[in-house]
Structure 1
């Protein structure tokens, strides 16, 4: 059993995530273009990233200065000793130092850039729905509404029906309920695999692979107890190594080692801990999202199937080996009391270590690809987010990514919404 938390509030999961503001890479979008993601060209997407961002950091040619979303680079003087020592130790192992993950170079180690200002998370509800936007007469925000299904008449989306049976009519319907919510709504609407819909007694509006292809970044926690003099846990978000495994495809950066203090201090015998979280960021493994029944208040069935290929597992083992090498390297090692997990008695690459990873594997909370864009007959939506077979119905969220990107998808999802609002609907920024 694995937790799958999502933000069910204004701002969605940007209200509950780690607020990491790192862009996806052109190598990620190249994979989208290869399966029918026409129009997702880096030169255009870079301008959309820049349009949503305001930051004092980085190169003027690559960074945005006037957008609604503030992005701030963590500095050593506002980070913990553990986080800065992680950066130093990683560099001492030979990995490059990265000045700006949203600049020209991503391979290496640095403190995080975050959409956090003065300790305050600036989620999408704050950044993009300011007082001026909220005052527009053509915008109504309603809280506490749970959508059951899309109302489809004659092959056209004409509104939505909520869980209480109330209907909201519309000329167009855009779903942005995420990689779990959007496929669940589509399936209840009759948009999905025909055989599965028939088994649930749902009339078929469009036979599409909704819910298939779920991806998530597999996450394993290499945890260290800190010495009492180094057990500060604020701020929690620290630093990250972004690297290529020995099995990476050309141009890919497919491993993360993320240093954070997201571990309960009362569970550490020393009163403080630091997590070096290991992730495979370009996984092959795929799962699915399905309905258990037609009730909109029933949680969907989620199967991640992470690390279910040998290559994915081999890359995770390599990532954990890198993480533990950092753990043994000064100056990080000088702050460590002991390794909590997997424990120093387990050797790198051993069958026992593999078993430990399998038994305590978690997700990065980056689910994607359950309403994937693709060519007709292959995808759920086209490259503009339009659902095949239902006029006036769109999906714009992480579910339409053909493959999970190699960075935390936080600001990439925001960029996608900006990009498609401009490209599909002609909205001017």
Structure 2
């Protein structure tokens, strides 16, 4: 007998685990969850300080790379995506940033009706248990544990960085995920009781105890099965998703959905699977040799990502983490974590941060700082011999747009990923401001006791031309690709989804993951991806949405004055 389920979810990642939990909670629906990767039980996944390992491990992560990017000296950037239970929430840096309230108002303005901040906030709260307790902005009983790691107790550089922000004239914010994002303060992470709080740990573990959830791992989804006339040319023709074709243990199989197929394969995987299914831009499908089912030109377009650089200084005091990067020290940190789940093993080490505006006249911040009390690479290797500190920094609202396109009908072949980084002149100008503002910040009095020589960019990088050249040589992805199946208005020919996350022109098919964002949020993407899945779960189940919040949001008074 051909297996049937009420819902089939493709991808057990940041969104898929949320959906698997919420759609099975009542016990009324049979749900199948398909995941290409396997177990997330690795010590290197669960221990927060080991974050650099899963991101560079083939078993746990898709090791994608972009096409050569012409505006950054034809460099191809690493674009890792989670390939395990929990997806990218199991391999990421665990930084918890919801984004600014205006980011979600921007979504609604782009045609995603009902996705403004006041309607999204209740779902952020439902997902979270914040260490500080519930209030008007933060959740107190949700699955995902969020905290400030060791509360900045273990290193004086965290507070010195926040104080430097105040010295530079920026505000201090008690909670950037609450009333006021703009300013400097403690940074939050998805860690609970010293362990990574991935969506696998937070949602899927409890859902897997239910008899109405089936989880298949090591499954490669090949395409969405559809019923209706093939070769359709417009979204007005009738078409329905009926199931998924996948390979498992060397066997090609099909499974069918009575209600819906939901793609939660991520910002790369979801548009790739739609295109493999014949749903996407006709030119891309024709070149790949895939029969056209529905010409939907926005699939794989609108690709956006955050870029960042490491702004590094030598540290004149022996307080940085550079002294902990040898194998003996790492072993002691790991042993303590195994025994007690605390100490330096229980944090991602990004315990202070900042959000500022790159120029006057902006309504909300567009530059983000992750402060690290070490000078090192993301792979965990020291940047130089000695003590140091750094900030990961970059503009968060780029205007450059790229695309994801399949190269053939082979689902095992990685798609072409083109970000077109820095192709927009405004993005290049924002980087110039970013470098100059960061240098000014890190030269404030609060850091005088610790600051040594500027390692990079280096004091000789000053002019527009020098900054542009250094950024082209050194900029890296912040690992936040998104927006490739965007929600949008009915009259937007490039919108892939309506505001219910339904694929236009295909009944019974939705996309729920970071690819649905119309634009990037001002921050890391895991928190808003979880929120999207929480909100979409109610839509899928036909539930009334949670009542909109009615809370104020801090906007810089200079902006308000400028508008009067």
Short-chain TM bin:
over 0.9
> In the alignment, which of 234, 242, 255 is matched to residue 158 of structure 1?
242
Gaps of 5+ in 2: 1-75, 229-238, 323-343, 547-564
Contact 2:402 2:420 in 1 (8 A): yes
Tell me the secondary structure at the aligned position of residue 84 of structure 2. coil
Residues 201 and 248 of structure 1, relative CA distance in 2, 3 Å threshold: farther
CA distance in 2, matches of 1:201, 1:269: 49
The Cα of 1:274 is off from its aligned counterpart by 2.6
Contact 2:375 2:382 in 1 (8 A): no
After superposition, what is the alpha-carbon deviation per residue over 1:330-364, rounded to whole angstroms, capped at 9, x for unaligned? 332432332222112222x4311210101111111
For residues 188-199 of structure 1, what are the structure 2 equivalents within 5 Å?
188-199=276-287
Aligned pair 1:410/2:499, yes or no?
no
Q: With structure 2 as the length reference, what TM-score do the two structures score?
A: 0.72
After superposition, what is the alpha-carbon deviation per residue over 1:17-54, rounded to whole angstroms, capped at 9, x for unaligned? 11111212221112211221011132221111111111
After superposition, what is the alpha-carbon deviation per residue over 1:253-303, rounded to whole angstroms, capped at 9, x for unaligned? 111122124824753333443331221111111111111222111111111
CA distance in 2, matches of 1:16, 1:313: 30
Tell me the secondary structure at the aligned position of residue 183 of structure 1. helix
Q: With structure 1 as the length reference, what TM-score do the two structures score?
A: 0.94
CA distance in 1, matches of 2:375, 2:261: 38
CA distance in 1, matches of 2:529, 2:383: 35
Q: What value does the CA root-mean-square deviation take over the aligned residues?
A: 2.0
Counterpart for residue 306 of structure 1:
421
How many pairs align? 426
Gaps of 5+ in 1: none
Tell me the secondary structure at the aligned position of residue 351 of structure 2. strand
CA distance in 2, matches of 1:77, 1:29: 30
Aligned pair 1:381/2:497, yes or no?
yes
Contact 1:58 1:100 in 2 (8 A): no
CA distance in 2, matches of 1:374, 1:34: 9
Aligned pair 1:213/2:302, yes or no?
yes
Aligned pair 1:360/2:445, yes or no?
no
CA distance in 2, matches of 1:214, 1:106: 25
Contact 2:97 2:524 in 1 (8 A): yes
Aligned pair 1:116/2:191, yes or no?
yes
Contact 2:284 2:406 in 1 (8 A): no
CA distance in 1, matches of 2:409, 2:352: 43
> In the alignment, which of 155, 165, 190 is matched to residue 80 of structure 1?
155
Contact 1:109 1:242 in 2 (8 A): yes
CA distance in 1, matches of 2:261, 2:295: 19
CA distance in 2, matches of 1:103, 1:336: 31
Return 181-190 or 324-333, whichever deviates more: 324-333
Counterpart for residue 11 of structure 1:
86
Larger CA Rg, structure 1 vs 2:
2
Return 79-88 or 394-403, whichever deviates more: 79-88
CA distance in 1, matches of 2:154, 2:262: 40
Contact 2:287 2:407 in 1 (8 A): no
Counterpart for residue 334 of structure 2:
none
Counterpart for residue 294 of structure 1:
409
After superposition, what is the alpha-carbon deviation per residue over 1:371-400, rounded to whole angstroms, capped at 9, x for unaligned? 111123331111111001111111000101
> In the alignment, which of 125, 129, 132 is matched to residue 54 of structure 1?
129
